[in-house]
């Protein structure tokens, strides 16, 4: 009954922008954080960004200054604004929610950045 649905992925040229969205079908009570992970072909899944209940954020070093995470707590929706995209950002992006200290992920949305 926990469902995370991503949208907004696609193909973009290097230097371009995309905005990802994720809606969570869970109660806001118990959510500690929401965010995004990604996985490139042949590589491990990695943390991209997190936003916590108090509004603080955390980013992978590789995306700092280029990506911005935000959320609408009332809607249980999290966003990722991705600017100045690089080919190295290519991968499947997964929405994440920490709910009662357990992790949940969506099915992912493909982001492809061409050079």
More confident residue, 1 or 56: 56
Report pLDDT digits (tens) over 29-86.
788 899 999 999 999 999 999 999 889 999 999 999 999 999 987 778 999 999 999 9
User: What is d(CA 36, CA 30) in angstroms, rounded to the nearest whole number?
Assistant: 18
Instruction: Give the helix, strand, coil percentages of the chain, each rounded to 5.
Output: 10, 55, 35
Report pLDDT digits (tens) over 8-19.
999 999 999 999
- Can you give the pLDDT at residue 104? 94
Read off the pLDDT of each residue in 103-115 and give the average, rounded to a whole number. 96
More confident residue, 104 or 28: 104
Nearest to 18 by CA among 85, 76, 78, 64: 85
C-alpha distances in angstroms, 92 versus 35, 46, 60, 75?
14, 11, 16, 24
- Can you give the pLDDT at residue 26? 74
Decide if pLDDT at 27 tops 90: no
- Can you give the pLDDT at residue 1? 65
- Can you give the pLDDT at residue 70? 96
């Amino acid at each position: 009954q926990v469902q995370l649905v991503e949208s907004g992925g696609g193909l973009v040229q290097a230097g371009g922008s995309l905005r990802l969205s994720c809606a969570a079908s869970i109660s806001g009570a118990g959510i500690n954080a929401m965010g995004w992970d990604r996985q490139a072909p042949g590589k491990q899944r990695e943390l991209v960004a997190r936003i916590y209940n108090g509004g603080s954020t955390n980013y992978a070093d590789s995306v700092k200054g280029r990506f911005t995470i935000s959320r609408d707590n009332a809607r249980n929706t999290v966003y990722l604004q991705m600017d100045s995209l690089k080919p190295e950002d290519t991968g499947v992006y997964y929405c994440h929610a920490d709910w009662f200290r357990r992790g949940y992920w969506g099915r992912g949305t493909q982001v492809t950045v061409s050079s």
